[in-house]
Every structure is written in structure tokens, then in C-alpha cells.
Amino acid sequence: MKPDAFVASLDDERIVAAIREAEVLSRGEIRVHVAEGSVPDARRAAEADFARLGMTATAERNGVLILVAPESQSFAVVGDRGIDERCAPGFWDQVVAGIAQDFREARFTEGIVTAVTRVGDELARHFPRRPGQQDGNELPDGVSRD
């Protein structure tokens, strides 16, 4: 599938709904970013986008970025230090492997939604909502693109 067709096939509403559902269970923040150009190193691109998108601004440093680079057919998941230090080694790579499997089967939106759900479950495990305390949405929930 060509990158433009891939981007057009994404159901942003379902992805945003999955982000909101995941964030209701935790104090963490999740963003999905689609890189619309060639990305030689998805991990490095995700780290740069993480900073550029202001994801280090969360109070508990528990933001997670899911980067999808359709032209390069690559993916990366990057967590801020608060969540990264709590995840099991290889967790982000397992999420990426799941995305890759879904994408091989042309389940693009589903792959991203599944990744969001897995990340959300991990955030809820380490940063559950605190009873009686309001948790504000610190980052936008929409799918960003460049």
C-alpha cells in the first residue's frame, strides 16, 4: 500500500477513542504520530518527535509516543522516563512487533488501536488513577502528522 493510501485508510476517530479509553484508566498520556516522509531510523525519529511534540511536559513523565512511518514501513514506541523505567525490558519492542504483525495483515487502524490498548494497560498498571483525584488531559489525543 502506498503511504498516502495508508494514511487515508486510518480511522482517526477509532484511534482517538482508544487513546481516550486507555487514558481513563491511568494518569499516563498516549499520542500517535504518523510520519509522512521517509524515516531512516524510526526510534531516533520517535525520540525527536517526542521532544518536539512536548511529551516531556507531563507531570509524572509518563507519556508514550507511538510513531508510525508508512513510507519507511517502520514503527517505534517511546516512553518518557517515568514509564520507561517501570516497563519490563523489551516491552516497547513487543508493542512494535504487534503493530508490525497487524500491518502485515493490512489491519492498520487495528494495529494502532491494539498498540494503544497495550500501552494503556501498562500505564494503568504503573500509574493507576487515584480515587477521588481528578486527572487532567496533559497532551492532545488526536493523531498528529508531519
pLDDT at 111 exceeding the cut of 70: yes
Residue 3 banded pLDDT, cuts 50, 70, 90: low
Domain layout of the chain by residue ranges: 3-124
Alpha carbon distance 124, 143 (integer Å): 21
pLDDT digits (tens, 9 = 90+) for 123-139: 999 999 888 777 788 99
Q: What's the predicted TM-score (pTM) here?
A: 0.94
- Residue 131 corresponds to which cell in the numbers above? 480515587
Q: Looking at residue 118, what is its pLDDT?
A: 98
Taking domain 3-124, whether its CATH number is 3.10.310.50 is answered by: yes
Are 34 and 15 in contact by the 8 Å Cβ rule? The answer is no
Model pLDDT for residues 49-85, shown as the tens digit of each residue: 999 999 999 999 999 999 999 989 899 999 999 999 9
Q: Is the pLDDT assigned to residue 46 strictly greater than 90? A: yes
- 146: pLDDT confidence band, cut at 50, 70 and 90? confident
Q: CA–CA separation, 46 vs 33, rounded Å? A: 9
